[in-house]
Amino acid sequence: MKKISSCFLFLLVFSVHAQKEKLPVISKAEELKTVKSKQIIWQKDRAKMAVVRPYQPVSYKEEKTFNRLGEPITKKVKVDEVLPLWFDVTEVTVGQFKMFLAQSNHPFSGDLWKKVYENSPDNNYPMINVNWHDATAYAKWAGKRLPTEEEWEFAARGGLIDKEYSWGNDESLAGDYANHDGIDDKDKWDDTTAPVGSFKPNGYGLYDVAGNVWEWCQDWYDNDKVWKVLRGGGWGSDSNHLRLAIRDNHHPDCRYRNYGFRCVLGSN
């Protein structure tokens, strides 16, 4: 009963938050083609999401060519539609994962919760100690999926081109954008996770794409198909491991206090 009650409270908080910001609440992926807002609330798990690739409908362009007699002609060529891509603004939280467990039969033991609470003590902290299968199950329940590695990096860049970090090239700004090891007096969370959204967002409005927790992606790390990809660095990472080019990997069964995830909507 306690678990279910906390989930209802979590839903209430997010509903009030959505009303305050007047964000559209979306329940079906098809609706994303007509959304004008750059942010939404996804109804199933109450996650705030931001568009990183807007929808572009099918269009046509004129192309000049020649007929069989060599005479110039103009024909219309179809340009394929670009499907929208939306990312969770924050990493999936403890509160959201509790809601998932309350509405599903996914196994998760009390011993695991003990480990979670050591570093993520309440509902606003990132969910940790989840393996790739946990993350995938949550995404499926929510009607979403894990990002591909390519999508993750595209979104993490926030529209920047050829930059080292999600905020640019200045390593000294890491403490403004990421919960990581080595930021001294700027760090309010000593050797642990921070509540999601505690640092500055990137250009797409995504928080904690650098630091806080490593994030599971869909992809296999290499052709051996033994390890799954993790990106973004965590609270124990130095600033070098916050660079956008850094890749990590682990077995999909592995759970760790530094591993979490976020979800996406859109066709890959």
203-253 tens-digit pLDDT: 999 999 999 999 999 999 999 999 999 999 999 999 999 999 999 999 999
**Given a cut of 70, is residue 193 above it in pLDDT?**
yes
Selected residue with higher pLDDT from 159 and 72 = 159
> Helix 94-102 to helix 2-21 angle, to the nearest 10 degrees?
120
The domain in which residue 220 lies consists of 85-265
Q: How many domains does the chain have?
A: 1
Mean pLDDT for the chain overall? 89
Residue 76 included in any domain: no
Helix locations, the chain, DSSP H: 2-21, 94-102, 110-119, 132-142, 149-157, 174-177
- The model's confidence at residue 78, banded by pLDDT at 50, 70 and 90, is low
222 lies in some domain: yes
**CB count, 10 Å around CB of 116?**
22
Using the predicted structure, report yes or no on whether residue 91 has a pLDDT greater than 60: yes
Residue 140 lies in a domain: yes
Q: Give the pLDDT band of residue 3 (cuts 50, 70, 90).
A: very low
CA 22 to chain centre: 22
Check residue 129 and give left, alpha or beta (phi > 0: left; psi -120 to 50: alpha).
left
- At 215, the amino acid letter reads E
Model confidence band, residue 98 (pLDDT cutoffs 50, 70, 90): very high
Rounded Cα distance, 36 and 224, in Å = 42
d(CA 189, CA 179): 8
Task: Return the residue matching tokens 């992606």.
Answer: 217
pLDDT band at 55 (very low <50, low <70, confident <90, very high): confident
Q: At 199, which CATH number?
A: 3.90.1580.10
| Cα separation, 126 vs 207, whole angstroms | 11
- Among 43, 9, 46, 48, which Cα is nearest to 29's? 43
Long-range own/partner contacts, residues 102-111 (CB < 8 A, 24 or more apart): 102/3, 102/4, 102/7, 103/141, 104/137, 104/141, 106/134, 106/137, 106/138, 106/141, 108/134
Q: Is 40 inside any structural domain?
A: no
Whether 184 is in a domain gets the answer yes
Residue 66 inside a domain? The answer is no
Query: The whole model's pTM is what?
Result: 0.85
Nearest alpha-carbon partner for 39 in 54, 17, 19, 24: 24
CB 45 within 8 A of CB 100: yes
Assigned domain for 37 exists: no
Q: Establish if 6 belongs to a structural domain.
A: no
